[in-house]
Amino acid sequence: MRMVFRWYGEGNDTVTLKQIRQIPGVEGVVWALHDLPAGEEWPMERILSFKGQVEKYGLHIEVVESVNVHEDIKLGRPTRDQYIENYKRTIENLGKVGVKVICYNFMPVFDWIRTDLHKELEDGSTALFYEKAKVADMDPIELVRNIADNPDFTMPGWEPERLQRLTELFAAYEDVTEEDLWDHLQYFLEQVIPIAEQNGIQMAIHPDDPPWSIFGLPRIMTNKANIGRLLKLVDNPYNGVTLCSGSLGVNPDNNVAEMVREFADRIPFAHIRNVRLYENGDFIETSHRACDGSVDICDMVKAYHENGFTGYARPDHGRHIWDEQCRPGYGLYDRALGIMYLWGIWDSLERERRGKRYAAHS
Q: Which residues are identified as catalytic?
A: 206, 244, 271, 316-317, 330
Dihedrals φ, ψ of 343, to 5°? Answer: -65, -35
Give me the DSSP letters along 205-249.
Answer: EPPPSSSS-BTTB-----SHHHHHHHHHHT-STTEEEEEEHHHHH
Letter for the amino acid at 323?
D
Q: How distant, in Å, are the alpha carbons of 162, 189, 207, 340 from that of 231?
A: 28, 10, 13, 32
Mention every residue, 6+ apart, whose C-beta is less than 8 A from residue 327. 8, 13, 14, 154, 156
Instruction: Find out whether 4 and 27 touch, Cβ atoms under 8 Å.
Output: yes
Q: How distant, in Å, are the alpha carbons of 68, 270, 347 from that of 160?
A: 13, 28, 43
The dihedral sign for the CA sequence 293, 256, 112, 196: positive
Torsion angle of C-alpha atoms 297, 303, 306, 312, degrees rounded to 10: -80
